Amino acid sequence: MTAHVVTTHGHGSKRSLVIGSALSILLTAIPFWLVMTGALSSPGATIATIFVFALVQIVVHVACFLHVDAKSEGGWTLLSFLFTAIIVVITIIGSVWVMYHMDANMMPT
């Protein structure tokens, strides 16, 4: 009979999951509080703050839950994630640019 070895390589630890969960809750609760209380006087400042919290939350999810770092899979996981992110950003910016110019150039004045 052979013994089965259980490895958790690449799955993180319970500590990283707890830290990720706590940070995710905090990074959701603070923008919610900002909007519900109107703590920031400017709507633009509120939107910018929410955007920054969203970017930080993306980093927390990628690091704590997806376990994407330079060490996993010899760095290929991080490289493929960055490539995907760049393609998504190019697609979104290109789509918005095309829609704006189509609206500006095709709509009757």
Rounded (5°) CA angle 95-68-94: 10
Lowest mean pLDDT segment, chosen from 11-15, 62-66, 67-71, 101-105:
11-15
Co-location of 76 and 58 in the same domain = no
- Tens of pLDDT, residues 38-84: 999 899 999 999 999 999 999 999 989 988 888 878 888 889 999 99
- Tens of pLDDT, residues 65-77: 988 888 878 888 8
Co-location of 55 and 92 in the same domain = no
Q: State the residue range of the domain holding 84.
A: 71-109
Number of domains the chain contains:
2
DSSP string, 26-62: HHHHHHHHHHHHT-SS-HHHHHHHHHHHHHHHHHHII
Co-location of 45 and 77 in the same domain = no
Co-location of 62 and 89 in the same domain = no
Q: Among 37, 52, 67, which residue terminates a domain?
A: 67
- Which pTM value belongs to this model? 0.70
